[in-house]
Amino acid sequence: MKTKVLLVMALSVILSASAPAQEKEKKIAFELGGGPSIPTNEFAEGIRLGFGFECTFNYSFMPHTGIYGGWGANWLSTETVNSETSLDYEETGYVLGLDFRHPIGSSNISYYARAGALYNHIETENSDGIIISDTKHGLGYQLAGGLAINLGRNWNLVPGIKFNSLTRDSEINGVIKQLNYQYISAKIGISKKF
């Protein structure tokens, strides 16, 4: 009888001691990041290096797995001999997907991998900054990966790369052209857990 009572008491102490540690693990994070974008195909003549950014929220529903969602934008431009035919392409919209994170050994660094769906559109602007085409929103996908470096106080430095792919039809001056908007972006971000 004494053994059972001692066992129950010991188990109660262990469980109550581990409960605060579990509560301290933050489940929600906000991340803001951006960087240069490199087109992976020439969907328009003279397409060149661009820039983009993304802000996301992450909710960890399991120790290493969560969902992420947010909004982002990316700009790519063309450079041609004739400035009148130079165009800017702006992709904006939403992302929703799965996020997997795992610590690397006992270090303060984790790696992450993401796969998500995009709901974005592409606006084409002429050299005067006037929108001449809007593809309307449609589905695409995003793959991403990188590191999360713990800076303390629930802050992380988040370098990584992402690949976005979105195919939409664009109509300019009555001509319909399919834009296969794909790029790799090297990003650096900062995140805060709540």
Give the single-character DSSP code of 2.
H
On the question of pLDDT at 20 being above 70, the answer is: no
| Top mean-pLDDT range of 4-13, 39-48, 80-89, 117-126 | 117-126
Amino acid 147 reads L
* Two structure tokens written together for 185: 């972006």
> What local confidence, expressed as pLDDT, does residue 3 receive?
54
Q: How many helices (H) and strands (E) does the chain have?
A: 1, 9
pLDDT band at 9 (very low <50, low <70, confident <90, very high): low
Q: What is the pLDDT of residues 127-185, one digit of tens each?
A: 888 999 999 999 999 999 999 999 999 999 999 999 999 999 999 888 999 999 999 99
Amino acid 37 reads S
Report angle CA 61, 67, 72 to the nearest 5 degrees.
150
How far apart, in whole angstroms, are the C-alpha atoms of residue 180 and residue 194? 37
Give the single-character DSSP code of 10.
H
Among 116, 146, 142, CA closest to 52: 142
Residue ranges of the domains in the chain?
A: 28-193
> What local confidence, expressed as pLDDT, does residue 17 receive?
47
Backbone angles phi, psi at 18, to 5 degrees: -85, -20
* Entry pTM: 0.84
pLDDT mean across residues, the chain: 89
Class of the CATH-defined domain 28-193: mainly beta
> What local confidence, expressed as pLDDT, does residue 69 receive?
98
Q: What is the pLDDT of residues 45-81, one digit of tens each?
A: 889 999 999 999 999 999 999 999 999 999 999 876 5
Q: Who's near 143: CB < 8 A, 6+ residues apart?
A: 114, 115, 162, 163
On the question of pLDDT at 90 being above 50, the answer is: yes
